[in-house]
Homo-oligomer: A and B are copies of this chain.
Amino acid sequence: MTDTPNRIRLLARLGYKFSDPALLDLALSHRSCGKINNERLEFLGDSLLGFVIGHELYQRFPEATEGELSRLRSVLVKGETLAELAREFDLGPSLHLGEGEMKSGGFRRDSILADAVEAIIGAILKDADFDTAKDCVLNWYRQRLDEPGLLNTLKDPKTQLQEMMQALKLDLPLYQVVETKGEAHSQSFIISCQVPLLKTVTSAEASNRRKAEKLAAAEAIKLIQQLKK
């Protein structure tokens, strides 16, 4: 495989140079390509990823319970997060897909992108060694792991928002029912959430009040995080 501009950019973003470039090609080969595909490497990479992230969380959060560590790990290694990484690498254009997947835009699909990231981890382990693969993974995850609110993401959004306001010594969030729709057995609620930091009031609709409050709180958290940037 010649080094196309896409691939050169990909390698730079991965921060790893393969001794055996065929391994990278294998990692990028979705099963729609045929019998020679990335599924075995994906298995290998997934195993390593779970361990490296688990170990790192264990060390970073000496006060976290086993349940918190498990949930944090599952947030970090889930397909959605891996697909985000793939997009940061701009992996899509370098994927090898069968014709059908190519036409249906498979290079944009979360699951295909996530599997390829795991397969690349497996390929690096095979091409080099455990420590090299571990360092790559930790580099890719650096920003997410350093995120000061990482452990907080486990709390429900209402608790998070309340603690944010308390930390800033501001008034607590105010939730109000804006509208109640539908009949008794299929009701839906629109709830607004007002916090002193934001000029706009966020709102959300759900089948019960508590759910709608959580969604409105999550929306407010998103806006507050945008303020910080």
Interface on A for B, CB 8 Å cutoff? 39-40, 42-44, 46-48, 50-51, 54-55, 58, 64-66, 69-70, 73, 122, 125, 130
Contact = CB atoms under 8 A, between A and B. Distances in A.
A55 B122 CA distance: 9
A47 B42 contact: no
A70 B51 contact: no
A42 B54 CA distance: 11
Given A40-B65, A43-B58, 18 more contacts: A39-B65, A40-B58, A40-B66, A40-B69, A42-B66, A43-B54, A43-B66, A44-B54, A44-B58, A46-B54, A47-B50, A47-B58, A48-B55, A50-B51, A51-B51, A55-B125, A58-B122, A130-B130
Given A39-B65, A40-B65, A42-B66, A54 B47 contact: yes
A43 B61 CA distance: 13
Protomer copies: 2
A69 B43 contact: yes
Contacts of A64: 40
A51 B55 CA distance: 11
Nearest to A39: B66
A50 B122 CA distance: 14
A125 B54 CA distance: 13
Contacts of A66: 39-40, 42-43
The 6 nearest A-B residue pairs measured at CB:
A47-B54, A51-B51, A39-B66, A47-B51, A43-B66, A44-B58
A119 B64 CA distance: 16
Contact of A48 (B42, B46, B51, B65): B51
A48 B56 CA distance: 12
A83 B130 CA distance: 28
A193 B40 CA distance: 37
Contacts of A40: 58, 64-66, 69
A73 to B, nearest CB: 8
A228 to B, nearest CB: 31
A154 to B, nearest CB: 14
